[in-house]
C-alpha cells in the first residue's frame, strides 16, 4: 500500500504536489527529517536531488559495463581457483563450513 504525501518542492518556487511513497521510504524520510530538525518536504527534496546527481557513470570495455570498485581488492582468477581448491579440500574432509 502506498501513502499519499503532500509536500513542498523548491525548484524555481515552492510547488505543492502529491506523491505516492512506499511506507518504508516515508518512515525513513520522516525519521531523517526529525533527526535533522527539517521539514519532511525539505528532506525528500534533498534526497531526490542527491539521487539524481549520484548517477554512476558507466564505462564500457569490450561491450560490457565497467564500474569503479571504490578501492576494493580485485579478485583474480588465481583467487577464484584457490577458493575452489579450499572448498574441495573442506568437502573431502567432511567439513561443511568455510571455517573448518
In three-state secondary structure terms, 64 is strand
What does DSSP assign to residue 44?
Answer: H
What pLDDT band is residue 74 in, cutting at 50, 70 and 90?
Answer: confident
pLDDT higher than threshold 70 for residue 40: yes
pLDDT of residue 37: 95
- The average confidence (pLDDT) of the chain is 81
- Average pLDDT, integer, range 53-73: 78
pLDDT of residue 1: 42
What does DSSP assign to residue 62?
Answer: T
Residues linked to residue 96 through DSSP beta bridges, in sequence order: none
* Element of type H or E holding 42: helix 40-53
pTM for the model = 0.45
Rounded CA-CA distance 81/40 in Å is 51
**How crowded is residue 29: how many other Cβ atoms within 10 Å of its Cβ?**
19
- Average pLDDT, integer, range 2-12: 50
Rounded CA-CA distance 58/66 in Å is 6
In three-state secondary structure terms, 82 is helix
Amino acid at each position: 500500500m502506498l501513502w499519499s504525501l503532500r509536500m513542498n518542492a523548491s525548484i524555481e518556487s515552492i510547488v505543492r504536489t502529491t506523491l505516492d511513497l512506499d511506507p518504508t521510504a516515508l518512515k525513513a524520510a520522516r525519521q531523517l527529517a526529525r533527526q535533522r530538525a527539517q521539514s519532511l518536504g525539505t528532506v525528500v527534496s534533498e534526497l531526490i536531488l542527491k539521487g539524481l546527481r549520484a548517477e554512476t557513470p558507466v564505462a564500457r570495455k569490450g561491450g560490457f559495463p565497467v564500474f569503479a570498485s571504490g578501492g576494493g581488492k580485485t579478485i583474480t582468477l588465481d583467487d577464484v581457483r584457490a577458493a575452489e581448491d579450499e572448498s574441495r579440500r573442506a568437502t573431502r574432509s567432511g567439513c561443511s563450513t568455510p571455517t573448518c
